[in-house]
Amino acid sequence: MSDVAVVTGAAGGIGEAAARRLAASGARCVLVDRDPRVEDVAAAIGGEAVVGDVTDPEVSQRAVVAAGDRLDLLVLNAGTNSVDKDPATLDLGRYQAVVGVNQHSVVYGLRAALPVMRRQGGGSIVVTASFASLRGVEQDPIYTMTKHAVIGLVRALSGPLAREHIRFSAVCPGLVDTPLTAAGRDRFRAAGISMLTAAEVAASVEQLLRTGEPGTELVLHAGRAPAPYVVAPIP
Protein backbone atom coordinates (compact mmCIF):
# COMPACT_ATOMS: atom_id res chain seq x y z
CA MET A 1 0.00 0.00 0.00
CA SER A 2 1.36 3.40 -0.98
CA ASP A 3 2.08 5.96 1.70
CA VAL A 4 -0.20 8.96 2.08
CA ALA A 5 1.46 12.30 2.86
CA VAL A 6 0.33 15.81 3.77
CA VAL A 7 2.76 18.67 3.11
CA THR A 8 2.11 22.26 4.17
CA GLY A 9 3.63 25.30 2.50
CA ALA A 10 3.82 23.26 -0.70
CA ALA A 11 3.30 25.91 -3.41
CA GLY A 12 7.05 26.43 -3.68
CA GLY A 13 10.42 26.12 -1.98
CA ILE A 14 11.08 23.31 0.48
CA GLY A 15 7.45 22.18 0.60
CA GLU A 16 7.16 21.77 -3.14
CA ALA A 17 10.51 19.98 -3.32
CA ALA A 18 9.51 17.61 -0.52
CA ALA A 19 6.15 16.88 -2.15
CA ARG A 20 7.77 16.14 -5.50
CA ARG A 21 10.28 13.84 -3.85
CA LEU A 22 7.65 11.94 -1.88
CA ALA A 23 5.42 11.58 -4.95
CA ALA A 24 8.36 10.26 -6.95
CA SER A 25 8.80 7.55 -4.30
CA GLY A 26 5.16 6.51 -4.73
CA ALA A 27 3.38 8.48 -2.01
CA ARG A 28 -0.03 10.03 -2.62
CA CYS A 29 0.32 13.64 -1.55
CA VAL A 30 -2.09 16.26 -0.25
CA LEU A 31 -0.51 19.70 -0.64
CA VAL A 32 -1.54 22.70 1.45
CA ASP A 33 -0.85 26.38 0.83
CA ARG A 34 -2.67 29.69 0.75
CA ASP A 35 -1.06 30.35 -2.64
CA PRO A 36 -3.34 28.95 -5.39
CA ARG A 37 -0.25 27.85 -7.30
CA VAL A 38 -0.27 24.82 -5.03
CA GLU A 39 -2.96 23.45 -7.33
CA ASP A 40 -0.48 23.42 -10.23
CA VAL A 41 2.11 21.59 -8.13
CA ALA A 42 -0.47 19.03 -7.03
CA ALA A 43 -1.62 18.47 -10.61
CA ALA A 44 1.98 17.96 -11.74
CA ILE A 45 2.60 15.17 -9.23
CA GLY A 46 -0.83 13.55 -9.29
CA GLY A 47 -1.74 14.82 -5.85
CA GLU A 48 -4.52 16.86 -4.32
CA ALA A 49 -4.42 20.52 -3.27
CA VAL A 50 -6.02 22.24 -0.31
CA VAL A 51 -5.91 26.00 -0.76
CA GLY A 52 -6.13 27.80 2.55
CA ASP A 53 -4.31 29.65 5.30
CA VAL A 54 -2.74 27.29 7.84
CA THR A 55 -3.35 29.83 10.61
CA ASP A 56 -6.95 28.59 10.40
CA PRO A 57 -7.19 25.23 12.22
CA GLU A 58 -9.94 24.15 9.83
CA VAL A 59 -7.44 24.07 6.94
CA SER A 60 -5.40 21.37 8.67
CA GLN A 61 -8.58 19.39 9.28
CA ARG A 62 -9.51 19.68 5.59
CA ALA A 63 -6.07 18.39 4.57
CA VAL A 64 -6.34 15.34 6.82
CA VAL A 65 -9.85 14.62 5.53
CA ALA A 66 -8.52 14.86 1.98
CA ALA A 67 -5.83 12.30 2.85
CA GLY A 68 -8.57 9.74 3.52
CA ASP A 69 -8.41 6.78 5.88
CA ARG A 70 -4.60 6.82 6.18
CA LEU A 71 -1.96 9.41 6.94
CA ASP A 72 1.55 8.00 7.02
CA LEU A 73 3.73 11.07 6.50
CA LEU A 74 3.24 14.67 7.62
CA VAL A 75 5.54 17.56 6.69
CA LEU A 76 4.75 20.70 8.68
CA ASN A 77 6.74 23.09 6.54
CA ALA A 78 4.75 26.32 6.16
CA GLY A 79 6.75 29.31 7.39
CA THR A 80 7.30 33.02 6.97
CA ASN A 81 9.74 35.74 8.02
CA SER A 82 9.13 38.83 10.12
CA VAL A 83 10.18 42.37 9.20
CA ASP A 84 9.78 43.67 12.77
CA LYS A 85 13.00 43.79 14.77
CA ASP A 86 12.07 46.01 17.73
CA PRO A 87 9.22 44.93 20.03
CA ALA A 88 8.62 48.57 20.91
CA THR A 89 7.47 49.31 17.37
CA LEU A 90 6.00 45.91 16.59
CA ASP A 91 3.03 45.80 14.22
CA LEU A 92 0.67 43.47 16.05
CA GLY A 93 -1.09 42.29 12.92
CA ARG A 94 2.17 41.21 11.31
CA TYR A 95 3.32 39.64 14.57
CA GLN A 96 0.19 37.55 14.93
CA ALA A 97 0.46 36.42 11.30
CA VAL A 98 4.06 35.24 11.72
CA VAL A 99 3.35 33.41 14.98
CA GLY A 100 0.25 31.91 13.40
CA VAL A 101 2.11 30.44 10.45
CA ASN A 102 5.36 29.39 12.12
CA GLN A 103 4.08 28.20 15.48
CA HIS A 104 0.32 27.78 15.77
CA SER A 105 -0.04 25.96 12.45
CA VAL A 106 2.35 23.25 13.68
CA VAL A 107 0.05 22.59 16.63
CA TYR A 108 -3.01 22.68 14.37
CA GLY A 109 -1.36 20.16 12.04
CA LEU A 110 -0.63 17.80 14.91
CA ARG A 111 -4.13 18.23 16.30
CA ALA A 112 -5.62 17.16 12.98
CA ALA A 113 -3.18 14.37 12.11
CA LEU A 114 -2.46 12.56 15.37
CA PRO A 115 -5.90 10.92 15.77
CA VAL A 116 -5.51 9.28 12.36
CA MET A 117 -1.94 8.15 13.01
CA ARG A 118 -2.96 6.72 16.37
CA ARG A 119 -5.85 4.77 14.85
CA GLN A 120 -3.57 3.20 12.27
CA GLY A 121 -0.81 2.46 14.78
CA GLY A 122 1.91 4.89 13.73
CA GLY A 123 3.26 7.50 11.36
CA SER A 124 6.08 9.95 10.80
CA ILE A 125 6.16 13.74 11.17
CA VAL A 126 8.85 16.25 10.24
CA VAL A 127 8.66 19.96 10.99
CA THR A 128 10.80 22.53 9.18
CA ALA A 129 12.69 24.48 11.81
CA SER A 130 15.86 26.51 11.16
CA PHE A 131 19.26 27.49 12.48
CA ALA A 132 17.11 30.09 14.22
CA SER A 133 15.57 27.32 16.31
CA LEU A 134 18.96 26.59 17.87
CA ARG A 135 20.54 30.04 18.21
CA GLY A 136 19.47 33.66 18.39
CA VAL A 137 19.30 35.46 15.04
CA GLU A 138 19.25 39.17 15.75
CA GLN A 139 18.15 40.01 12.19
CA ASP A 140 14.77 38.40 12.89
CA PRO A 141 13.98 37.95 16.60
CA ILE A 142 10.29 37.14 16.08
CA TYR A 143 11.09 34.38 13.59
CA THR A 144 13.75 33.12 16.02
CA MET A 145 11.19 32.99 18.83
CA THR A 146 8.72 30.95 16.78
CA LYS A 147 11.34 28.46 15.64
CA HIS A 148 12.60 28.00 19.20
CA ALA A 149 9.01 27.19 20.12
CA VAL A 150 8.83 24.55 17.40
CA ILE A 151 12.00 22.85 18.61
CA GLY A 152 10.66 22.95 22.16
CA LEU A 153 7.58 21.11 20.95
CA VAL A 154 9.69 18.46 19.19
CA ARG A 155 11.77 17.95 22.34
CA ALA A 156 8.71 17.65 24.55
CA LEU A 157 6.58 15.44 22.30
CA SER A 158 9.02 13.22 20.41
CA GLY A 159 9.43 10.78 23.31
CA PRO A 160 5.74 10.29 24.09
CA LEU A 161 4.87 10.02 20.40
CA ALA A 162 7.66 7.50 19.78
CA ARG A 163 6.05 5.25 22.36
CA GLU A 164 2.98 5.31 20.10
CA HIS A 165 5.14 4.44 17.06
CA ILE A 166 4.91 8.01 15.70
CA ARG A 167 8.26 9.59 14.81
CA PHE A 168 8.48 13.35 15.33
CA SER A 169 11.61 15.24 14.31
CA ALA A 170 12.87 18.47 12.72
CA VAL A 171 15.14 19.73 10.00
CA CYS A 172 17.15 22.82 10.95
CA PRO A 173 18.58 24.32 7.76
CA GLY A 174 20.63 27.45 7.38
CA LEU A 175 19.82 29.82 4.53
CA VAL A 176 17.87 28.08 1.77
CA ASP A 177 17.43 29.46 -1.73
CA THR A 178 13.63 29.75 -1.82
CA PRO A 179 11.08 32.49 -2.57
CA LEU A 180 11.21 33.36 1.15
CA THR A 181 14.86 34.42 0.89
CA ALA A 182 14.80 35.74 -2.68
CA ALA A 183 14.97 39.40 -1.63
CA GLY A 184 18.33 38.87 0.07
CA ARG A 185 19.85 36.36 -2.37
CA ASP A 186 22.26 38.78 -4.06
CA ARG A 187 23.32 40.22 -0.70
CA PHE A 188 24.06 36.78 0.70
CA ARG A 189 26.09 35.80 -2.34
CA ALA A 190 28.05 39.06 -2.24
CA ALA A 191 28.90 38.32 1.39
CA GLY A 192 30.12 34.85 0.45
CA ILE A 193 27.29 33.10 2.29
CA SER A 194 26.44 29.75 0.73
CA MET A 195 22.81 28.73 0.46
CA LEU A 196 21.22 25.32 0.50
CA THR A 197 18.85 24.30 -2.27
CA ALA A 198 15.28 23.32 -1.55
CA ALA A 199 16.04 19.92 -3.05
CA GLU A 200 18.83 19.34 -0.51
CA VAL A 201 16.51 20.10 2.38
CA ALA A 202 13.78 17.93 0.87
CA ALA A 203 16.17 14.98 0.73
CA SER A 204 16.80 15.32 4.46
CA VAL A 205 13.07 15.66 5.12
CA GLU A 206 12.42 12.38 3.35
CA GLN A 207 15.30 10.66 5.17
CA LEU A 208 13.89 11.72 8.53
CA LEU A 209 10.39 10.64 7.55
CA ARG A 210 11.55 7.21 6.43
CA THR A 211 14.36 6.25 8.81
CA GLY A 212 15.12 9.12 11.20
CA GLU A 213 15.35 8.62 14.93
CA PRO A 214 12.52 10.25 16.88
CA GLY A 215 13.47 13.66 18.21
CA THR A 216 16.26 14.25 15.70
CA GLU A 217 17.11 17.90 15.10
CA LEU A 218 18.97 17.61 11.81
CA VAL A 219 21.24 20.58 11.10
CA LEU A 220 21.87 21.36 7.45
CA HIS A 221 24.82 23.48 6.29
CA ALA A 222 25.48 24.23 2.63
CA GLY A 223 28.40 22.10 1.48
CA ARG A 224 28.41 19.85 4.56
CA ALA A 225 26.83 16.54 5.45
CA PRO A 226 23.67 16.79 7.57
CA ALA A 227 24.36 16.28 11.27
CA PRO A 228 22.07 15.87 14.29
CA TYR A 229 22.19 18.63 16.87
CA VAL A 230 23.29 17.40 20.27
CA VAL A 231 21.62 19.20 23.16
CA ALA A 232 24.03 20.08 25.97
CA PRO A 233 23.08 18.87 29.44
CA ILE A 234 21.66 21.44 31.83
CA PRO A 235 24.47 22.43 34.25
Cα dihedral value 53, 56, 61, 62, nearest 10: -40
Q: Which of 95, 108, 143, 229 is catalytic?
A: 143
Catalytic, 143? Answer: yes
Cα–Cα distance measured from residue 2 to residue 28, given in angstroms and rounded to the nearest whole number: 7
Side chain identity at residue 194, one-letter code = S
What are the backbone dihedrals phi and psi of residue 131, each rounded to the nearest 5 degrees, phi first? -50, -35
Long-range contacts of 141-148 (CB under 8 A, 24+ apart): 141/82, 141/85, 141/87, 142/82, 142/84, 142/90, 142/95, 142/98, 142/99, 143/81, 143/82, 143/98, 143/102, 146/98, 146/99, 146/102, 146/103, 147/102
CA–CA dist 176, 156 (Å, integer): 27
Residues annotated as part of the active site = 143
